[in-house]
C-alpha cells in the first residue's frame, strides 16, 4: 500500500504537505484497470442519458440507472483512481463541534512510485471534461424546455463537479505548499552558510591574536 500523508483543512487557505510531484514522461500505463474505470462509469452515465429513451419509456427507470452510474463513478474516482493515478485522495468530514473540514491525502516518501504522465493526463482530462459536458446538457435542457430531465443533469453536474473541485483544490494548494517549502529551505540554507562564515571569521580572528 502506498505511503500517504494526511492533512486536514478547516479554512480556504490551509495548504498541504505534499511529497514528490514528479511525472515520468512515458506512454506506459501502470494501472490500466484504474484508468479504464476512471472513464467508464461517467461515460456510461452520459450514454445512458442520451440514449435511455431508446430502451425504456420510463423516466424513473432512466433516472435510477443514471444516478447509480454516477454514484459508482463518484466513489471510484474519489477513493481509487485518484490515489492510484495521481497519488491524491480527499474527503469532507464534520468534527464533534459540527464544523466541516476538508481532509486530503497525498502520496509521500521515497518508496512512493512517481506519477506517470499518461495516467496523469487521463485522470485530469476525464475529471474536467465530463463536468463541462453536463454543463452543456444543463443549458440544453433549459433551451428545449425538458424540465423533468433538469434534475438528472443537476445530479450529474454536482457529482462530477464535486470530484473536480476536490482534486483541483488538492493540486492548487499543493503547489502553494511546495513554493513555501522551497522558500523555507533556501532561507535555512542561507542562514546556515552565514552562520558558518561568521564562525570561520571569528575563529580566524582569534588565531591572529
pLDDT in tens, 12-37: 333 333 334 456 666 778 889 999 99
pLDDT tens digit string along 106-126?
A: 766 544 677 888 899 999 999
Q: Alpha-carbon distance 154 to 176, whole Å? A: 32
User: What kind and span of H or E run contains 23?
Assistant: strand 23-24
pLDDT tens digit string along 126-140?
A: 999 999 999 999 999
Tell the residue number behind the cell numbers 542562514, with chain if given: 191
Nearest CA to 52 among 186, 152, 196?
152
Beta-strand (E) ranges in 96-200?
100-107, 115-116
Q: Alpha-carbon distance 38 to 44, whole Å? A: 11
Written as one string, the DSSP assignment of 57-83 is --HHHHHHHHHHHHHHHHHHIIIIIHH
pLDDT at 204: 54
Q: Alpha-carbon distance 80 to 196, whole Å? A: 48
- Mean pLDDT across the chain: 76
Q: Alpha-carbon distance 82 to 89, whole Å? A: 6
Residue 1, pLDDT > 60, answer no
Is pTM beyond 0.85 here? Answer: no
Amino acid at each position: 500500500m502506498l505511503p500517504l500523508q494526511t492533512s486536514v483543512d478547516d479554512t480556504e487557505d490551509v495548504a498541504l504537505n505534499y511529497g514528490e510531484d514528479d511525472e515520468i514522461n512515458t506512454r506506459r500505463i501502470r494501472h490500466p484497470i484504474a484508468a479504464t474505470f476512471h472513464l467508464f462509469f461517467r461515460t456510461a452515465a452520459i450514454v445512458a442519458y442520451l440514449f435511455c429513451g431508446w430502451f425504456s419509456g420510463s423516466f424513473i427507470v432512466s433516472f435510477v440507472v443514471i444516478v447509480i452510474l454516477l454514484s459508482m463513478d463518484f466513489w471510484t474516482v474519489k477513493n481509487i483512481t485518484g490515489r492510484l493515478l495521481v497519488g491524491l485522495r480527499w474527503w469532507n468530514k464534520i468534527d464533534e463541534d459540527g464544523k466541516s473540514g476538508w481532509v486530503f491525502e497525498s502520496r509521500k516518501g521515497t518508496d512512493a512510485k512517481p506519477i506517470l504522465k499518461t495516467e496523469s493526463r487521463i485522470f485530469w482530462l476525464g475529471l474536467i471534461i465530463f463536468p463541462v459536458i453536463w454543463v452543456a446538457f444543463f443549458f440544453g435542457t433549459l433551451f428545449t424546455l425538458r424540465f423533468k430531465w433538469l434534475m438528472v443533469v443537476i445530479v450529474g453536474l454536482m457529482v462530477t463537479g464535486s470530484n473536480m473541485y476536490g482534486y483541483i483544490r488538492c493540486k492548487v494548494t499543493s503547489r502553494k505548499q511546495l513554493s513555501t517549502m522551497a522558500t523555507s529551505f533556501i532561507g535555512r540554507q542561507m542562514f546556515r552558510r552565514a552562520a558558518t562564515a561568521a564562525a570561520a571569521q571569528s575563529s580566524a580572528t582569534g588565531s591572529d591574536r
